[in-house]
Amino acid sequence: MIQLGVNSVLFKQYSFAEAARIIAACGYDGVEIAAIQGMCEHLDLSRWRDQKDELKAIAAENGLRFLSVEVASLDEERLLAAFEAAAEIGIPVINVGPGGKSGVQEDLTASIEKLAKLSEKAASYGVTLCVKAHVGSSVYNTPTTLEAMKLISSPAFGIDMDPSHIHRAGENAEEALPAVLSRVKHIHIRDCKGREQGPGTIQLQACGRGDIDLYGYCQAMVEGGYDGPVVLEVIGAQPDHTIEQISIVAAESYGYLNACLKKLNAR
C-alpha cells in the first residue's frame, strides 16, 4: 500500500508536536520531518540526539511513521549528521536538492559526483539518499535525471520525483514518470497553476487545485509498481497563515490523493 505523508515544513511556524497532531487528524500515515536550515528545522541536526526520544514519542503518540527527512542541502557535514540521525530515529529516506544551475554541464557533473559519493556514505548507515529534479538547478528535468541515474550505481541512491518541478520544466509529469520510475524511492507531491518558476501560494499547491494531471500521475505511479511514500510538500507558509488555513491545505490534499489512490486500488 502506498503511504501518504506530509512534510512538516508546511507547519514551519508551529512545533513538531502540533504538526504531527494535525497531520494525523487529516488521515495521513506518516510524516517527513523538515531539517531545512534557514527555513524549518523540526529536526535540528546540531542537537538531534537531544531531540531523538521526544520526536519518536510524538510520532508514536499520533500513530505516524517517519517516512523521510528533508535536508535539501548537499553540505556533507549536515548530511553525515542526517544519515546518523535517520538511522537512530528510524527514518529510511533523506531528501536533498541537486544544487548548481540549469544548463551548466560543469554543475551537473559536480552534482552527480557529489551525490555518488554521498550515496556510498548513506549506504554505510543503512539509509537512502534521494534527489529530485528542481527548477533552476543542475538536475531539473527528465534528461538530467536520467543522466544522474546512469552515473550513480549505488543502491542507496534514489530519485525523489516531484511532479510540480517536472511540470514547471515544461514536461507533463504523468508522461515523464515511467522513464525514471525504476529508481524512484520517494515522491514529493503538490499541485501548481501554470508553469512559472515558483509553485504559488500554499492554497494553490493543494492537490487538485492546479493544472497538473495528478490523477494521471498517480495512475502512472501505480501501474509502474511504485509502493513507496508519497509526501505532500507545500512551501511558502507565512507567519500570518492561521493553523486553520494550513490544516485545510493538508486535509484537502489528503482527500484528493487518497481518493485517487483508492480508485487505483493502491490504498
Q: What residues have CB less than 8 Å from 69, skipping those under 6 apart?
A: 32, 33, 34, 35, 43, 82, 85, 86, 91, 93, 94, 95
pLDDT 10s digits, 53-76: 999 999 999 999 999 999 999 999
pLDDT 10s digits, 132-182: 999 999 999 999 999 999 999 999 999 999 999 999 999 999 999 999 999
Mean pLDDT of 230-237: 96
Q: Of 173, 167, 88, 86, whose CA–CA distance to 130 is shortest? A: 86
pLDDT of 197 higher than 90? no
Name the band, by pLDDT with cuts 50, 70 and 90, for residue 200. Answer: confident
Q: Helices 76-89 and 48-61, interaxial angle, to 10°?
A: 40
For the chain, the straight-line distance linking the first and the last C-alpha, in angstroms and rounded, comes to 5
pTM above 0.85, yes or no: yes
Dig out the grid coordinates for 137 from the structure: 538547478
Mean pLDDT of 30-40: 97
Dig out the grid coordinates for 99 from the structure: 544544487
What is the pLDDT, as a whole number, of residue 158? Answer: 98
- Exposed, middle or buried by CB within 10 Å (0-12, 13-18, 19+), for 30? buried
Using alpha carbons only, give the angle 234, 30, 52 rounded to the nearest 5 degrees: 100
Can you tell me the distance from the alpha carbon of 234 to that of 39, in angstroms, rounded to the nearest whole number? 12
Q: Helices 173-180 and 214-223, interaxial angle, to 10°?
A: 20
Per-residue burial over 230-258, b = 16 or more CB atoms within 10 Å of its CB, e = otherwise = bbbbbbbbeeebeeeebbebbbbbbebbb
Contact between residue 54 and residue 46 where contact means Cβ atoms under 8 Å apart? no
% of the chain at pLDDT higher than 70:
100
